[in-house]
Amino acid sequence: MEFMFSQGLGATLNVAKPTRGSTVAIFGLGAVGLAAAEGARLAGASRIIGIDLNPSRFNDAKKFGVTEFVNPKDHDKPVQEVIAEMTDGGADRSVECTGNVNAMISAFECVHDGWGVAVLVGVPNKDDAFKTHPMNLLNERTLKGTFFGNYKPKTDLPSVVAKYMNKELELEKFITHQVPFSEINKAFDIMLKGEGLRCMITMGH
């Protein structure tokens, strides 16, 4: 959980750096995306827009501060256009947590001209190519990438632990299922079906 959580949380807090009252779009509401949403919540974002193809994830996402939801399949236009309309020109920040190159492009193209920052977290396929019009850069949008949320494990992780101990971070929200070790195959089924975030396996005697 440490890597997944730090990756998403740090992508928002350390790289996107949303200001209080800003709008943040999160692409992908799996565990990494929800950690990114948690970062946006901690930063004081006023709107956190969750984008996912699986609407069953929307209920869990509310616990992490996500205020609005977009399923790209519900629209007949590119999702970046939908977000631009929702936000009067574009989100202030976006964090992409899917690894899908089209979502990466949408995350970049959905941020506002002049100050928008998009952060890529997901790992794409080796043959994928990121394509966007050069004007998106000339219009002063910023594209960044991150690994491990720009945290240095030895020096920075104690501050993350302190946030948890002070109850600023609520890691328990990520544990959606609990099974005994004898039912470990059930945990794999839950994971493969995308029905949970993290499953805790208890070791019985």
* Same domain as 52, residue 115: yes
pLDDT class of 106 with cuts at 50, 70, 90: very high
Q: What is the pLDDT of residue 1?
A: 46
* Same domain as 140, residue 93: yes
Judge whether residue 71 has pLDDT over 80: yes
Judge whether residue 5 has pLDDT over 80: no
In whole numbers, what is the pLDDT of the chain averaged over residues? 85
Q: Which residues of 5-33 are buried (b: 16+ CB within 10 A; e: fewer)?
A: bbbbbbbbbbbbebeeebbbbbbbbbbbb
* Same domain as 138, residue 190: no
What Cα–Cα distance (Å) separates residue 71 from each residue in 16, 79, 175?
23, 8, 24
Domain span at residue 204? 171-205
* Same domain as 81, residue 125: yes
Task: Answer whether residue 155 is part of any domain.
Answer: no
* Same domain as 175, residue 91: no
Task: Answer whether residue 13 is part of any domain.
Answer: yes
Higher pLDDT, 188 or 124: 124
Contacts of residue 38, Cβ cutoff 8 Å, sequence gap at least 6 = 8, 9, 12, 64, 65, 169, 170
Percent of the chain with pLDDT over 90: 50
pLDDT tens digits, 159-192: 666 766 676 666 666 666 677 777 778 777 766 7
Percent of the chain with pLDDT over 70: 78
Residue 149 CA to residue 104 CA, distance in Å, equals 17
